[in-house]
Structure 1
């Protein structure tokens, strides 16, 4: 078999997502034919997938992620992810996998960091919590806490529909993690881990480029039967700029602790809050519904009443971390 055919056998076709947001780790871009692009990625150890356009012959190599992002018309583009294997006891593993024949996998982002895989601030990697039936791709922040992104919104991304059913919030949707919801099915095995202390980290950036953060300690989420009830014990600032609490009742805001997650098809508020706000959230059983909101379709629909008041939010992210 020729070298070219051997190279093609090392890849599988994967999905192309239409969005303006692509924060995955690019290695290099050059103009080459398709088969040359495949050969190039095959010979670069850190290349995990490639995107090629038959229209302009542009080939881009990536060191993380399973799918490719294209802004606009994706016709003519092809995305391939590299198969990994072992030759003469030397193994090249997908991100998150390790050990003999790549049979072991990091159980969460903190485990990924502890095993010394991290080489950038954030990375898309495979993880599999102990009670998860299968691995899944996650965005890990590679600080000491190894935080997992469960929601990220950016004004530069496409407008995503967050007015989804409870089932969709369970399985996840959108351009995860940069413009979508990871899914409660993936979050629950992490937050229900025994003898662990978790916090929910919330970061915002206003259009004025001023950022702030807040963390909710002893954070947890109830199971499906409780409709993913929100729990947290206390809050504190992240860094020098404090967002102010808008979840636990600080500064006369509504307290969402102990509240279930409501969606348009499973509303436990009594005030039609999910339909009014256009997305799922831990709404209060109050006509005001909430003083915080992160799942509006357009970024202008998201807000944090305490501190930010009605200022435009250009970026927000929710992360779960151990401490």
Structure 2
């Protein structure tokens, strides 16, 4: 490390010697050899000084390095001691943590065993409860079936009693009107008999008793035998003829046998069948009959189309005078039924009248074949706009003609979208009766049944969608109001007999 200093000193001496040489030559007093000797001595002196300085610096650097090393050793020793203390502390903490962990694990193991035992006991209890529930359910089902059988038997009995009571009530209603009328006639008979007594022989030109009078109930069923005698005595007393009755044995009440009544009964010469007066009025044929009976609120009612079993339908009693029987209803609901149904389902009907439903082709034929009907369609879009269409003639033929539709006489605001259905047979996915040559309208329009004339005109039995859509035309459409790619929010088709 000291040789760079030596080289530096030599260069310095040479530089100083050159300068001194030039100076010596100018003066002319010193020779070159002397100058060289002087230079060598100076160089030796410089080297000696440099060596001393190098030794001094080396000693200084050695001392500093020794001090630094000693300081570093001391710092390392102190840090080692601190680290040892920390390590010992961490070791103690780890030991304590291990002990705590072992104790915790032992405690957790014990708790786990307790939990396992408790779970096993609870599992056993649950199995016992489940078995008990199964047994109770079987017992409840048995009792429920027994109660259901009893209820059914009781219901049948009640139905029989109700039918009997309804028949008797109808008899009583008829007899009340009859008794009121006969009371007036009897008063006239009594008046003529006791003021102008007559005998009832063949020579009489007229009879006091009325002719053929129908009495659905016999007089003894209402307890009228005793009432006849009481009424006769009261009448005689009021008219002041009690004395005449005692003086005239021919008109005495003693001559009246207990089986004879003053109230007229059915004469022997009346040949009509009285059973027709005992018939209970039939169930309403349609919602018009329901409306005529006084039920004027919209809702679900039970009707019986001619020749078919009774069924529930939705009656509209507020639109255009009321009495409308809804044949197909499409409304906005949380869940919609599918109208992709078979021919048989469209024949008998399906759905819930309070929500969405189809009344059935057989019912439409039974309702419209006996008397002329009209059709009305009420609809609403998703923007709140409404429209309607009405037809003055609507009729559906029978099964032999595939329930062919006849419709005419359009009026309204929605447009005549059913004119193409006139004289068309009904079609479903499993019976293609439409006039299109390219295929089945029912299949192409999503499975709904209808009287297809042109596939794109109208389809109340389409798939329920929201407003305008892209793709095949399968929504609930009325083409002349909204086109075939706009599915309506509400569409109700209803029928009513013409006045």
State if a TM-score over 0.5 links the two structures: yes
Q: Map residues 225-236 of structure 1 onto 2, 5 A cutoff.
A: 225-236=400-411
Aligned residues: 224
Question: Are residues 1:290 and 2:459 paired?
Answer: no
Which residue, out of 218, 221, 232, partners 2:396?
221
Q: What CA RMSD, in Å, does the superposition of the two structures yield over aligned residues?
A: 3.2
Q: Map residues 200-279 of structure 1 onto 2, 5 A cutoff.
A: 200-237=375-412, 242-248=413-419, 255-269=420-434, 270=437, 271-278=439-446, 279=448
Deviation string, structure 1 residues 115-151 (Cα, Å, up to 9, x no partner): 2133x2x12111113x223221121122434110111
Q: With structure 1 as the length reference, what TM-score do the two structures score?
A: 0.61
Greater helix share, structure number:
2
Quote the offset at 1:320 in angstroms: 0.6
Q: Secondary structure at the match of 1:244?
A: coil
Q: Secondary structure at the match of 2:347?
A: helix
| Residues 1:317 and 1:150: Cα distance change in structure 2 (over 3 Å) | same
Contact kept? 2:347, 2:362, Cα under 8 Å: yes
- Equivalent position of 2:312 in the other structure: 137
Greater strand share, structure number:
1
Q: 1: CA distance between counterparts of 2:300 and 2:364?
A: 16
Contact kept? 1:226, 1:260, Cα under 8 Å: yes
Q: Secondary structure at the match of 2:307?
A: coil
Runs of 4+ in structure 1 deviating by more than 6 angstroms, as ranges, are 87-91, 99-103
- Equivalent position of 1:280 in the other structure: 449
Structure of higher CA gyration radius: 2
Q: Secondary structure at the match of 1:218?
A: strand
Q: 1: CA distance between counterparts of 2:417 and 2:164?
A: 56
Contact kept? 1:217, 1:234, Cα under 8 Å: yes
- Equivalent position of 1:304 in the other structure: 478
Q: 2: CA distance between counterparts of 1:104 and 1:244?
A: 39
Question: Are residues 1:115 and 2:293 paired?
Answer: yes
Q: Secondary structure at the match of 1:232?
A: strand
Structure 2 alignment gaps of length 5 or more: 1-146, 153-157, 175-277, 467-474
Deviation string, structure 1 residues 29-84 (Cα, Å, up to 9, x no partner): xxxxxxxxxxxxxxxxxxxxxxxxxxxxxxxxxxxxxxxxxxxxxxxxxxxxxx77
Q: 2: CA distance between counterparts of 1:223 and 1:88?
A: 36
Quote the offset at 1:297 in angstroms: 2.7
Q: 2: CA distance between counterparts of 1:258 and 1:134?
A: 28
Deviation string, structure 1 residues 139-186 (Cα, Å, up to 9, x no partner): 112243411011101122423221111111001112235212111122
Contact kept? 2:380, 2:488, Cα under 8 Å: yes
